[in-house]
Every structure is written in structure tokens, then in C-alpha cells.
Amino acid sequence: MLLDRLYDALTFPLLIKLCVAGVVVRLLHNKYGNGINHIPGPFLAAFTDLWRLWIVWKRRPEAVHIRLHDKYGKLVRIGPNTVIVSDTQAAKQIYALNAGFSDFYPVQQTVAKGRPLYTMFSTTDEAFHAKLRRAVSNAYAMSTIVQYEPLVDSTTTAFLAQLARRYADNRVVCDFGTWLQYYSFDVIGELTYSKRLGFVDRGEDVDGIIRDLEWLLDYVAVIGQIPILDRVFLKNPFRLWKSKHGYSRSNTPVVEFAKKRMAESNDDDVEDGKDDNNNNNNNTDEQQQPKQLDFLSRFRASHRKDPAFIGPDRVLALTVANMFAGSDTTAISLRAVFYHLLRRPEAMGKLMAELTAAVGERNRNKEDEEEVLGEEGDVGGDDGWASSLLRWSDVRDLPYLGAVVNEALRVHPAAGLPLERVVPAGGVTLSCGGGGSGGNAFLPAGTIVGCSAWALHREADVFGADVDAFRPERWLEGSVARRAEMRNCLFAFGAGARTCVGKNVSLLEIYKLVPAVLLNFELELVRPEREWTIHNAWFVKQSDFFVRLRRRTREGVGKCRAV
């Protein structure tokens, strides 16, 4: 009895000491055992990834990253095995590696039937990514995207009509940031399925889709900093078992919409291709091209070409990925354009002068200008929204509009976390500019390394000393070589082989909607003395963006001049 008590008394303290010793050894290994102790950074960050989880939890990691680079230099250690880099030349090295992707990406994979669904963004398999991108890349080529312009116009005219009816005509304050997200969701729905989800028409978050997306992004941003936690929460064995056997939560509203739309659509190209297997595969590519102008039709065309790889489930996954990836990011970019223009009237004046000239150029050969501008002096008018739109061919080469878009993407890129890569075998020596921790820096194999667009876009050597200012003119000044360098260093859509496949879709929406809104309405910030609110949950979303709208008159457009 006495020996048992003595044993218990000795064992419990010993276990405590062993646990403490194990934690200490682990923390010391984290700091000194990964070969990156020469990279400066916050003291606690070297010991545990809990530090970077905490800064993401606070929802402004992009601001923290900028401050860290200001303090420590171009390379900063933000975890036991993680380094962030703010140097455009080093960024080109990092994203040319394409050798490995961190476990941050699988956290974003959704689960169906007990298995993760791989997309072009969430997969870590380079061979799979390359094959999938080749299979669907034609659907995202600019030569294809411009064929989608009528679908964009359909949602744009509905959007303009709602702004007029709900806000401009009633002098009611508009939550413009929210409406831009409604627009982006419905445009990508129309582009993908030839049918809107109903955000613009109903003026509300349909079936809580935006709410669900925000929850998912909050989860991914935080849990992605310590990815093993995902196997505890959403991808634990019990939840995977429930999913496999059909006991888990039903599909999200976007998936349900996608399934319904795929079942409804009388896709002519399915009829064209249903006997492919009986025709000795002699159909030409031209014969297999879809007749409809939406992504679903084109993905089905890819399915017919390679049904083993692009199966029905993958077609569904591609369309759903379109919805989630293409809505929030474009809405963020649109908000950035409008918000910064409203806070810089001289830039707004220059853009309006350019857009007015573009309207005049388009109308020069029109016999009746009233057809374009409306019957009662309002641009557009109740029945004239479609005729008030500028075409892609009218706006794609407008220099100041292009400068405004580039500057908005620079000062407020959508992605707010580093795009992580894993250093391959043999390590890599990054060539960074001078200053701080600049110069050459060796990172051993296995190191997680990445760049934040928010930090890269504030590199003064590339973008000028006034990097914190919204100044579109920087994209029109200087030599041709300098402007080309700035364009090459714009990281808003990523870099390397993983550059955002939907870049052209987003640009088409932005270049179409910005002129459409500005030529039809005068906008005014409700509280110009206050900044908007920023919430970084992987995507840096803005809120508290309220405006008043007034319809522009024909005379008002004509009077627009550069300030």
C-alpha cells in the first residue's frame, strides 16, 4: 500500500516533467531545427504556428505582413518553417518553382461521398493541375470570354435597373458593396449556366449562399495556418464516414442550383456528341464545340473529349468552383475601383472625360442619339439600359480606365494571405534587393515560402515612392520598360503556372460594369470622412460602403471634363 502511494507520487510529477521537457524540445527544434534561424522575424513566430494563426484570427494579416516587412526587411520568418518574401524578383523565382504546395490548399477542398474534390486551386498535384487546366483552358481564353459579353450585359442591365428603381429614384442610401457582390454572383451564374441565381432580381442573399461562403473563408483562412486541425474539425474520420454513407449535411445551395440547372438545360452539344463513341471518334474539334455560350456547355464539350478524366462529377465541381472563386474576388476588385474613385474626385473626372469621349466615338455614326441616351434626357432610361452599355471593344484599350483598374488591383488585391509554396530538394537561393534582410538568402528544402500581394504591391523600387496612394497616373508615366515592369509585378491574379484561370472573366466584368454605372449614375459617399471596414478571411472583403445615387442626364455626361 505504501509502495503504491510512493509510486503514484513519483509517477505523476515525472509524467508532468516529461511532458514539459517534450514541449520544450519540440519548441527548440521548431526554432533551430529547420535551417531558417538566420531569417529575422517575430520572436514567438519561430517557436509555433499559433502565432500566425492568431494574426489571421484577428482578420487583418495583410496589414501585419506589411509592418513586418517594414521592420525586418524583404524576408521575414512567420512560423517555425514558414518565410514570407516581399521582393518582386524573388517572387518570380518562388512561383517558377512549381515544385510543391503546402497543406494550406487541401483545407479548401470540399468533401463529397467521403472524398475530397480537387479543383485547379486546391489540388497539390501538379500533374493533375496541368491536365485539368489544359482540358478547360479554352473556356477561359480571352477569345472565348468576349463571346460571353451578351451574358454579362444581361445581368448588367438588370443591375442598373435595380439601382435606379430601388435607390436613385427614391433617394435611398444604397449598400453598394453588398450590391456589387450580388452583381458578381449573378454574372458568374449567368456565364456558367446561362441563368442568374437571383441576387440582383431579389436584392437579397439567396438561400444564404453569401453567408455560407463567408463562413467557409473564415474557416479556411484560420485553420489553413495549422492544416492538421482540418483533420480534427471538418475532415475527421467520423465526418468522412458520414459523408461517404450519405448521413452528412445536404449539398450547399450553390451545388443544388448547379445540379438543378444541369438537369434543366437542354444542351444542344450533348445531343451533338451523344453518339461520339459510335462514330470512331472522327468528329472534328469544330463539330464538338458547344452551341451555347456558357461555361457549362464548354465543360460538357471537354467531357465528351475525355470522359474518363472530365466525368459528370468533375463538370459539376468545375461549375461550382466557378461560382465560389469568381464571385467574391471580382466583387472585391469592383469595390476597390469605385471606392477609390469616389475618394479621389480628380481621378473620377479624368475617367469620366475618357468614358464620355468613348460614348461620343461609339455614337458618331448613330443617326438618332436619343436611341442611345434615352428619351427624356436620362442616360439609359427605363427601357434603354442595354443601349447605354459600352462594348468590350469600346473600352478594352481606354488608357485611363486601364490605369484605374490596375491601380485598384494594386492597392487592394483580393487575396490577403501569402500563396504558399514548398522549397524543393536541394533548397533555393533567393535573390532579393538590398535593405533589411535583402541580398541572397538560402532556404532549405521543405521550407514553406510565399508572397503577399499586399506587400509586393508596395515595393517602392517598382511602383514609386507614393505606394500608399491611389494614383492611376503611375501606370501612364515613365518609360515603356518601367510600365511593363509594373504590369509584370502586379500580383493580383497570382503568378506562375497557377495564375488565376478566371482572370479574363474578372477583367471583362470590371471593364464592362465600371463604365456602365458611371455613365448612368452619379455616386456620392454617404460618409466620406469615414474609411470602410476591411475583413481579411483569405479574401480581403470590404464593408460599410454606402452611397447615394442620382441618374445622370445626357447634359451631365456631356459636361464631364478632366480635372
Residues comprising the binding site for heme?
500
**Euclidean distance between CA atoms 554 and 374, whole angstroms:** 8
**Euclidean distance between CA atoms 301 and 512, whole angstroms:** 28
Buried b (16+ CB within 10 A) or exposed e, 60-87: ebbbbbbebbeebbbbbbbbbbbbbbbb
Adjacent-strand bridge partners of 85:
75
Contact 502, 139 (CB under 8 A): no
Contact 81, 451 (CB under 8 A): no
Query: How many other CB atoms sit within 10 Å of the CB of residue 35?
Result: 15
Q: Phi and psi (nearest 5°) for 85?
A: -130, 135
Question: CB-hemisphere CA count at 13 Å for 489?
Answer: 25
- Element at 145 (helix H, strand E): helix 142-145
Adjacent-strand bridge partners of 522:
550
Strand 448-451 relative to strand 82-85, pairing: parallel
Contact 290, 297 (CB under 8 A): yes
Adjacent-strand bridge partners of 551:
521
Contact 288, 301 (CB under 8 A): yes
**Euclidean distance between CA atoms 82 and 549, whole angstroms:** 47
Which parts are annotated binding residues? 500
